[in-house]
Each structure stands twice: as structure tokens, then as C-alpha cells.
Structure 1
């Protein structure tokens, strides 16, 4: 009988048979009433003809539940004994070291042992993976689990992260040495000024202490999380200054990451605050190096760690003992929050968690004060971080309403969109004057990007007015022209990553789409009045400032913007090879529009040929207290 039938139809005995089966009754033999077939029918091979086989629940033949349980226990005990004997026989051949040489094919015993070893190793690996995945799912219940200790098994959380989020392999750094201390401090200073000021996810005191220990080679006092912090800050600071995937800054950053991963098992171990901080650093690096890491998977791991440790909720007031620790906890949360919102929006995906699931107050403004760095210079402070947190919170609000809610028309969508645009405009106009120029440029780009994102016709606001299209045109062209200048400046004055190439591609697509839909209106260069609004409702925002004034018409502006966008993506392609694919896609999308605009330009030039203008007469240069004629005669002229 098949094994499954024992559980489905267990062998049961009634305590006292009431009546014989039909076959025993006809043969006038004693029937023991065994179920599902009596002994006489079973010996004769007529189990299917026994009435009990077809009528197990006939009157007077009810199953005995106790007998069923006893029989099941008996059979399970036999299976357990058999499994133990099999495990004992396999364990005799298991070892932690694989066979050192290929067994001789004629040696059947060696071949059997090798096969048993491979099977046992595969069983151990499967067991480790299953155990890890079950523990990973358990993290949401027990956030302080230590089941990912490297000494427990060969599968760790860090290796799971590396397997899920890695693309190209990291280089071998066994013969690698630390750079000179002054070079490392220069890299750290760049990180603190341009990146830490936006994402203060750890204490700078901890970073400088780790650097001191790293260069003093005090291994006894350093933890794996400290090694990770020092190496990853150096990696991000070096790679962020790169201009090409072949330059020294990029290769040095890759070496720093490879060194950091030597300490990944414990640095990324769940249950500690350092796990969140380490994952934030790895996510930042992945945004600079998409060839080796996937930022989408990494920010997912980061947010999972944030929720598992409860950082998405402020602790009760009675548990707050140190306000500085609470501020650091809140900064760490909002760093992960900001990265999640930024990455999700540029990839048009859902957030890792909603705003309704989080309840974290802002860090105290005093916690963003300036501090002196290890080099003696005054750091620029973390005020830009607080501004970035505010911007990401606003972006998260309208992104969830417009793109993550039910795809039904939004009631009074125009008022909602005008209000969001007004909020963005007021926010950027109230930025402090003390903000560094590079940070101001970064926030200006974010506002142009957000404005186009809000104005682009989603499913909840399908009606787009002519004035909205003009707004999209002006914000997109302002963004693309400024992105071109920043990409070709050769200086990274803020945290610009591969995601900026994706933003350029997004804005260029919106620019081409609005040109395609409203070409005649936009190129006519006529003033478009904003749509009327009811009293008490938000009004349409004004158009952004037009560089160069009205002297340059929209036809020349559009052609110049499209050509500069191609050059921007080409420049980004020197740093990130994926940007080459973006450029090719953009050229295919914009090719028809560019050809049509050039035809318009040629028609305009033929219709109004340029008038000949006589060159201006040379003017005499007059210098104060200088006799030019005397100088020409060879005198000093004074």
C-alpha cells in the first residue's frame, strides 16, 4: 500500500465487530471486522470487495479514534528509527574536508564515498539556507536575534545581502595597503562636506576615532563595524570625486569597498544599530557604483532593518534618557527614509513603508550645529540634512497620493497640484543664505525635478492644462541646462550619483513629450494665462525665471537643450556604463522631434535672412593718467 494511504486511511479496528462483511457472511466464516478490509478478504486478495473497503462509515462500523492514533504512533516510531539508522550510516562518511583527489573509477567504494560526501554537503547547504531564510523572516518578531552569528553556520546575513544585491565581483585586495594618512583625511573631509552634511547617519566622533585606530594599527580596540565605517567612508568619498570609471578615484574606492567586505559578516549582523548605519553607507556607495551593487535591493534591506529595530517609531518618553542619543537615532531613521524616497521615486516603485507607518519627530535643530574636524577645519554643519529631510517628506506626501493610491480621479486635482507647486516654490525661496553654493544648486534641481513630477499627468490627474505644459517645459529646460553645467564642471560640489543620470533621462523624456504634444503653442512663444481658480483655492504658480531673458526664443532654446542633454548623458557614460544605454534610448526618442525643430529653424532662416551689419568703427582706448601717443613714441607715457 502506498505510504500516503497510511495517513489518509489508517488501519483501524473496531472494539467489537457488529456484523461480518458481505463476503464472510456469504462464506459463513468468522470476520474479525478489521478496517479497511478484514483479514479473510485481505488473505484472499479481495480487499476491494470487502464491504468495509467501500463503506467505512456504515452503521456499527465507526472508526475507533484511539486505535487510529495508536497505529499512527507505531508507524511514525518505525519511520523515525529507520531515519536515525540512515543518518548514522551517512554520518560515518561525512567530513568537513572534501576529497583531495579524484577517486579511481575502478574503486567503487571511493566513488560511493565521494557521492555520499557531495550529497551530505548539499544537504548541509540547503539546511543552512532554509534556516537563514526562516530566521530572516523571524526578524520582524524578534529584532534582537543573534542567529546570524558567523560562528553558527556558513550562511550569514551579509552573504545574503551580497548575493541579492551584487552585480560584478569585487577586486582582490590581499596585497593592498592603506593610502597615506593625509590622503585619507582629504577624502574624509570631502565626504563630511558634501555627503555627511546631507546624510548624518552616524557620529563623526566615532568615524575619527576609527580612523585613528586604523592608522595606529590598534586592532585590539577596533570592532568590525568600525572597520566598515572607516573603509566605506573612504570608498564613498573617493568614488564621489571620480569623473571616469577608469580614473584613480574610482579604482581606489573599489579597493576600499573590497577591504570593508572583509568585515561584513559582523558589521551587517542584525540586532544592532550599526547594521542600519552600515547598510546606509553601502546604499550610498551603490548609488555611485551601479556596476557592482543594486541600490534598490540594498535600500530594501536597510528599511527592513530600520523597522525590525523599531527606528520608525519614537521610543516612549519614559525611556528617553539621553537626548543626544535620541537625535542620533532620529537622524539615522531620516537618512534611510530620504534614501528610500529618492531611490523609489527615480525608479517609479513603491516605498518600503508608508508615512502612516512611521512616527518619528525631527531631530533638534541644535544637533545640526557645526563642529571642528580632525584636520582643524570647521565643518559646514549638517543644516542641509534637515532641509533634505523636509524636502523628502513633502515629496513622499504627494507621491503617495498621486502615484501610490487607487487609480481613481483625484477630487479637485488642479487645486492639489497648484498647492504642491506653491509649497515647493516657497520652500526653495526661503532657503537660508548661508547655504553653500553647491547645496543650493542641488536643492534647485530637486525643486525643478519635483515640479515636473507633480505636473506630469498621472492617472489621478489626467487633465493637463496648457499652462501646466508651459510649466513643465520651463522647469525641464531649466533642470537640463543646469545639469549640463554641473556634469561638465569637473567638480562634484554635492552628492551627485548615477541616479542623477536617471533624473536627466526622466526630465528629457518629459521635455520631449510636452514638445510633441504642444509644439505649436510652445514655439510660438506667446504668453499663456494661468487657468482661473475659485476664491479661496490655490492659484497656479508663476513661471520660473528664464535665463537670458526673452531675447532667446523657445525654438533655439529647445534645440540647444536637446543637444546639451545628449552631451550630458555622454559625460555620465564616462562614469557609468549604464548611462550609454540611456543616451541611445534618448536619441531614439528625441530624434524625430529634433529633426522637426531643425526644419522649423531652416524655414525661419530662409523667411527672414539676416541683415548685413557694418562692423563697428574702432574706438580709441583711453587709460587714466596715461598718454597713449607718448607710449607709442617709446616713452613711458606717464
Structure 2
């Protein structure tokens, strides 16, 4: 019998391949600290935690930890030779015998000095190569940041979870220390502020030391004043940027109070002109001779004197984030030469001072970051930011209507309501796009929905002197905001009733007459759109086209809700022919509206709009392949025009969203298959038996209200539909829901041949099968939201 370890060695079976090998579908040898494939490619070898598939862990983590322990022990021996390392926890290395792991060896204080120079030199070299890179004896800032980046998510997640759990139990957590005073650094990691483009951003370690420094405020204020002198746009440019923000972004996300924003710019402009003077700064970093102004409807009083309630850091962050968003819209229209990244970089200078505690201005900053992430590929986790914003709302009490509303100034009360419903609307939209649960249930809040009276409070006068010559949005224009908030209630009901997973909780009793509820919601949505259309005044002015376009945007959201209502869901897994017809009609109408808005330069390509464009095209393809009735009744030219419109709009969006290009390629492949199938079907059906049915768009009781105020030929008025999917609601196509392609009736699928007796049931093309499967599962690989 062979002694242990001397017999034939059998290759060990690798139970779990590393992430890279799994993605490339190649064999992983399971070597440590990196598999052979990753080692040859000189990339990090990352495993997936068997207990949690969402936690990637580098394979060399233990090796690096042991090397770091060795390095720390060596430093301790140098600093304190009498320190006894043997008193610490001991490590049993027997189970790991044979592994080349640098286990730390504990020695007595006397033996520490007996290390030979050769051993000490080799130890220092090993540690330096593992931890610090070049063998310089010191760790560079780059290596410090590399260590921080490579910290295993499991350890980081546990640390953050413990901190949050402990702090949330504090009695003073409300409005002050929900995330703790050190949350600024954690939030900076979340939003990627340390990685903002620009020249040499300060590393995280340096930021930590500066935050702990007693001179930190003066350093921040000095850098902000220096940046203001260089980056703050002139009043003429600020007029243009603010006007764009109010038209394209404020109307959808009215969480900033326009007058406060203007006051903040005027104050910053005055500070930039006068320059930094540390002897004249107040406690918030403002020059003392700057006239105080209210923010969000409030004014602070200190020692009997009024003072500005926000710091200059908050003002810089809010104003420059607004400029960054507006400049992004303008540069895409080729109407503005100032790069948005300069505004964004300036805002990030103030970010670390804005998120150290929970407040209304901090919540507004989080929302600005969320909108930034939807406006351009900023690398921000939108899902997480929206849920943090909702947590802030609850912590600040914005979800509850005050017992005595008269205790708050009217403007402050209006701002609270508008902020909450902006977060609520974002949550409904992102949850629909990603097919994820709602962040807050409707029965858990009672704050009143904003009305026109709340919006009328925007007309308060500007209180600071300045050179801005800006006209605030009219109440008629902002009425669209109120209508959008009303629609979100229907989205909540649809998501709750038709997209819930099976539950073993017996206390939840779901209604059984869901067909009637579906019809009732459809009727309510029809009434909402009729009321929204009739509420827009007919004005023969230059604003008429803009008002008409805003009205069409409401219709887009109506179609989004209709398709969310009728597309495959957990409750209705196989939609009826009528439901598929509604989805097709709505998606067709939606694409034509998008195209019209694009031609009139009234569409800015946010992620929600791009997602809506793609999902409309995907819905059209799905409905054609799943419905024999649509195959034989829709005009070929109509389907071809819709699909080409979708492809063209995706091409435009791909200019600013690189990930969309992948989706466009996938879409065009299945589009070609669909067009080929329709063409074959049309020619073979005509040669066999003429088609008796004709395609009739669903009648619309509000058709007359959707005619353009400008020339009547600007958009096809003959196609009025009812039903589409939300901005990207294809990801609401059952995230985590096991709906297979087998639920599609294969007898309806387009084939390459038809017999005289009817369709020949042929195997579906693999590319089309993959596309339809992704549609039903809502798992689009090119979608950054789905991979957040």
C-alpha cells in the first residue's frame, strides 16, 4: 500500500469556476491564488460566494490578507520589540498543509530579533511586492486605493450593515445621524465621486485625513471659492442653462424650488466676484456681506439675525449639478460648447460636505445624482440611489401629512410634497423598468399629492440681487407635473395586483375578479388621459408647440401604463388576442410620438426614454410572433415603418449610451427575421387565400385632443391607439419570473413556408427564441439598469 501522498494524483474537480471562466465558458483549473486562464491574462481571478451569488470574492484575498498580517507583524517588531505576538489567537495550519499560503508565524519577543537579515529582507520584499507594488518600503497612494478597491464585498457589506444597524437604533437617528457622521465617505464610494473624470482627484485616504483635520472647512471653502471664480458661468449662460433645466427636467422631477435655485446662483455669483476672504466667512461658508436668502421656503435665525439656511457647499452642489444636466441636454442638441463634465466635477468638490447627515438639501442632492445617472452613463447605481432617497423621505417624515400644515410656511410644505412624490414617481418608474418590488406601499404614506396651489407657490419673488433675467415656468406648464403624479397611483395598483410573486403569507387575500379590475383600470386610465388632454389650454403663441409636445409625453405615459396592464404577467401569463392587439397598437403609437418629439427637438435621450423606445419595438415584435390575428391583419408597411423608426431612434440614443448599440444590434437581427417572416406570410397567403380581415386601429375618444396645434401634418393623426409599455417596461416582464417560451403558441409563429391548408409549424429561429425569452424574462444583457 502506498504511503499517503505517494499514490497517483487525480485531478481535483473544480466545483465552481471563476467569474471570468464562467463568462467565457472555458474550463477553470481552480488554482490559487488565480486560475491558469486568469493568470495568463494577467487579470484578477474572482470567485462567486456559494452562499450569496451577488458577492464576488477575489481568489487571492486570503493570500493578500496573510501577507498584510506578516507586514503588520514586522512593523510591530520594529516599533516595539518587546511586544509578545504569541498572546494573540493562534492559527492551526495543519488542515492547509501543502498550500503555499504565507501564514504568519508567531514568535516570542526574544526570537524576533534573531531573524536573519536574509529572512527579513525576503519578508520585506514579499510584502512590498504583494501590498505596495514597488519595493520601496512605503505604500503609494495608488496602492492604498488599489487595496481599498480590492476589499472583498462580503467584508465591506458586513461592516456597513453592522454600522447602519447600530446607528439606526440610536434615539437621535431622526434627521441627524441615520448614516452616521462618517457616511460622507461611504456615500462618495456609492456615487463614484472619487472616480469623477478630471485631473488627479484626491485619493480616499487623503480625503479621510482631510475630513478629520480641524482645518477641513477652511480648505473646502478655499477650494470652492477658487473653483467658483473659474467655473461659474456668466448670468447670460446661467439664464440659458436654467431655462433648459426647467423645461426638460424640472417638469418631470420638480424637487428643486426654482426661486431658491436662482437665489443660490446669485449668491454664488457675488462670492465669485468678491473672492475668498477667510476673515469674512460665516458658519456656512458665505461671505458675511452677502444678503441672506431663504432656501426651500425656510430662513434660519442665529442670534436674532437671519442667515442663509444652507452652506455654500450645498449651493455649489445643487447649482452645478443643475448646470451639468442642462448642459448635457444642450450639447446633444449642439447648442452649447461648454462641456458638462466641468460642471459635474465642480459639484463633486462639494459632495463630501453634503452627505454627512440627512436633511432636505441632502435628499435633493441624492435626487440630482439619480437624474444624472438617467441622463448620461455616469456609473451611478440608480436603483440604490432611489431607495436611499425613499429612506431619507421616511426618516425626515416627508411621507406623512403634517397634523397642522399651517405650522410650516406654504413654500416649505409644497417643497416637501413635491420631493416625496418625485421620489415616489422615480421608484415606480425604476421598479417597472427593472421588474423589481416597489420601494414603498401606498398604504404606508398619507402625504397629500401636490396640487396647482402648491405649484403656484413657485411665484414667490427672488430675494437676492443678481443679473439673471429668467422667466419661471408658468402654472399652466407645470400642470403636466400634477397629472404625471396621478398616473403613478395606477402603476402602483398594476404592479401590486398583477406582478406579485406567489406568497405563503395567509394574511394577504388577493382579489379573484382580476379581469374586471383590469377593465376598470383601463377605463380609469382612459379618463385620466381625456382629462389631461382637455386641461391643456389652446394658445396661439410660441408656447403652443411646447405645450402640445408635453401633452404627447403624457400620452406616452398612458400607453406605458396600458401595456404594463396587458402584457404577460404573473397573473396573466398568456395574454388574449385582444390584449396583444392593444399592446401592438400602443407601441406603434408610442414610437411615432417619440419620432415626432425627436424631429421637433423636444425629446432628450434619458435612459427612461431610450428604454421606452427599445421596449416599444420589442413589444411589437413579440406581439407579431405571438398573435396569428396580428400576422394576418396588420399592413406590412405599417409594421415595417414602426420597426425602422425604433431602429433609427436607437441609433440616435446610441451616440450617448454605448450599451444601447448592443441592444440595437440584437433588435435589428430579430427585426430582419420578423420582416422576412411577414413578407413570406403576406406573399404566400395572397397566393393561397386572400386575407379577409383588415387592420383597424382601436378607436380613441380623445383623438381630437391629440391633434398638433402647429401644422396638422406633423404627426400621423389617423393612428390613435390605447396601450403601451412604460419607459422600459420590458424589464417589468417578470424579473425572476419563470415564464418560458413554451407559453407562446408555436402555431402562430412566422415560418418560411405555408401550405394551402394552413401554416406549417416550423422550428423557431434560435436568435428569435433567445430574443422572445429575454422579452418574457425581462433580462436584457445590454441594459445597465437590469445589471445594477
The answer, yes or no, to whether TM exceeds 0.5 is: yes
Q: Deviations over 1:171-224 (max 9, x none)?
A: 339986333321121010111123212322122222111111222225642521
Distance 1:130 1:118, change over 3 A: farther
Please point out which of 365, 389, 392 is paired with 1:305.
Answer: 392
The DSSP-based 3-state class of the residue aligned with 1:356 is helix
Which of residues 195, 199, 213 is equivalent to 2:267?
213
Quickly say closer, same or farther: Cα 1:243–1:606, change in 2 above 3 A.
Answer: farther
The 1:90/1:215 distance shift into structure 2, 3 A limit, reads: farther
CA RMSD of aligned residues (A): 4.1
Partner of 1:23: none
Name the residue aligned to 1:171: 198
Q: Does 1:144 align with 2:175?
A: yes
The alpha-carbon deviation at position 294 of structure 1 amounts to 3.0
* Alignment match, 1:204: 258
Give the distance between the partners of 1:592 and 1:262, measured in 2 at CA.
51
* Aligned equivalents of 1:207, 1:171: Cα separation in 2: 26
Matches within 5 A, 1:464-479: 464-479=575-590
Q: Are residues 1:403 and 2:499 paired?
A: yes
Q: Report the CA distance shift for 1:239/1:416 in structure 2 as closer, same or farther (over 3 A).
A: same
**Cα distance change on mapping 1:514 and 1:350 into 2, 3 Å:** same
Q: Which runs of 5+ in 2 are unaligned?
A: 1-72, 84-116, 132-136, 202-226, 277-284, 287-310, 463-467, 505-509, 539-546, 690-788
SS at 2:341's partner residue?
Answer: helix
Aligned CA distance change for structure 1 residues 90 and 584 (closer, same or farther; 3 Å): farther
Cα displacement (A) at 1:266: 1.7
User: Contact 1:132–1:156 at 8 Å: present in 2 too?
Assistant: no
Q: Distance in 1 between matches of 2:616 and 2:337?
A: 27
- Describe the SS at the equivalent of 1:156: helix
Q: Which residue of 1 aligns with 2:185?
A: 156
Does structure 1 residue 446 correspond to structure 2 residue 584?
A: no
Distance 1:599 1:132, change over 3 A: closer
Task: Measure, in 2, the Cα distance between the counterparts of 1:159 and 1:387.
Answer: 35
Which residue, 436, 446, 459 being the options, matches 2:570?
A: 459
The gaps in structure 1 that reach 5 residues or longer are 1-82, 94-103, 526-552, 609-638
CA contact (8 A) 2:372 2:378 kept: no
**Cα 1:576–1:463 shift into 2, 3 Å:** closer
3-state SS of the aligned residue for 2:380?
coil
In 2, Cα distance between the equivalents of 1:162 and 1:90?
41
Give, in whole Å, the separation in 2 of the partners of 1:324 and 1:118. Answer: 53
Deviation at 1:444, TM superposition (A): 0.6
Matches of 1:524 and 1:129, distance apart in 2: 55
Contact map agreement 2:239 2:470 (CA 8 A) in 1: no
Residues 500/291 of structure 1: CA separation in 2 closer, same or farther (3 Å cut): same
Q: What is the CA-CA distance between 1:459 and the residue it aligns to?
A: 1.8
Q: Is 2:236 the partner of 1:182?
A: yes
2:673 alignment partner in structure 1: 592
Kindly state the Cα deviation for residue 405 of structure 1 after the two structures are TM-superposed. Answer: 5.0
| Alpha-carbon displacement from aligned partner over 1:413-457 (angstroms, at most 9, x marks no partner) | 221111111111110111112382221111111111111110112
Moved more, 399-408 or 192-201: 399-408
Distance 1:90 1:231, change over 3 A: farther
Match of 1:377 in 2: 471
Distance (Å, rounded) in 2 between the aligned partners of 1:197 and 1:330? 15
Partners in 2 of 1:479 and 1:91 — Cα distance?
75
Asked if residue 322 in structure 1 is aligned to residue 409 in structure 2, the reply is yes
Q: Deviations over 1:226-257 (max 9, x none)?
A: 1111001111112133438xx68597222211
Contact 1:168 1:291 in 2 (8 A): no
Residue 276 (structure 1) aligned to one of 363, 366, 373: 363
Shift of 1:136: 3.3
Which residue of 2 is the match for residue 74 of structure 1? none
Q: Mean Cα displacement is larger for which, 227-236 or 127-136?
A: 127-136
Corresponding position of 1:433:
536
Residue 292 of structure 1: which of 379, 390, 413 is its match?
379
Q: 1:402 and 1:129, CA in 2 relative to 1: closer, same or farther beyond 3 A? A: closer
1:69-84 equivalences in 2 (<5 Å): none
Distance 1:410 1:597, change over 3 A: farther
CA distance in 2, matches of 1:195, 1:554: 38
- Check whether the contact 2:584–2:620 (CA below 8 A) recurs between aligned residues: yes
State the secondary structure of the residue aligned to 1:428.
helix
Distance 1:558 1:513 in 2: 12
CA contact (8 A) 2:376 2:607 kept: yes
Among 620, 630, 635, the alignment partner of 1:522 is 630
Post-superposition CA distance 1:274-313 (Å, at most 9, x none): 1111111111111011243232222122222222223222
Structure 2 CA distance, aligned partners of 1:130 and 1:502?
A: 34
Q: Are residues 606 and 184 of structure 1, via their aligned partners in 2, closer, same or farther at CA, if it must alter by over 3 Å?
A: farther
Matched, 1:559 2:640: yes
2:355–2:362 CA contact under 8 A, matched in 1: yes
Tell me if structure 2 keeps the 8 A contact 1:193–1:380: no
Aligned partner of 1:227 in structure 2 is: 316
SS of the aligned residue for 2:339 comes to helix
Give the Cα separation in 2 of the matches to 1:250 and 1:134. 47
The more displaced of 503-512 and 273-282 is: 503-512
Cα distance in 1 for partners of 2:649, 2:574 equals 32
Superposition pairs of residues 498-577 of structure 1, within 5 angstroms: 498-519=607-628, 521-525=629-633, 554-577=635-658
Within the candidate set 345, 359, 368, 2:432 is matched to 345
CA distance in 2, matches of 1:574, 1:349: 28
Aligned to 1:482: 593
Task: Say if 2:514 is the partner of 1:413.
Answer: yes
CA distance in 2 between counterparts of 1:451 and 1:325 reads 35
Is the CA contact (8 Å cut-off) linking 2:243 and 2:470 kept in structure 1?
no
1: distance between equivalents of 2:503 and 2:637? 38
> Which has the larger displacement, 275-284 or 261-270?
261-270
Query: How big is the shift at 1:324?
Result: 3.0
SS in 2 for 1:290: coil
Q: Which residue of 2 aligns with 1:423?
A: 524
Deviation at 1:338, TM superposition (A): 0.8
Q: Distance in 2 between matches of 1:314 and 1:308?
A: 14
CA distance in 2, matches of 1:306, 1:407: 28
What is the deviation of 1:147? 8.3
Q: 1:91 to 1:484 in 2, by over 3 A?
A: farther
Output the CA distance in 2 between the equivalents of 1:91 and 1:211: 59
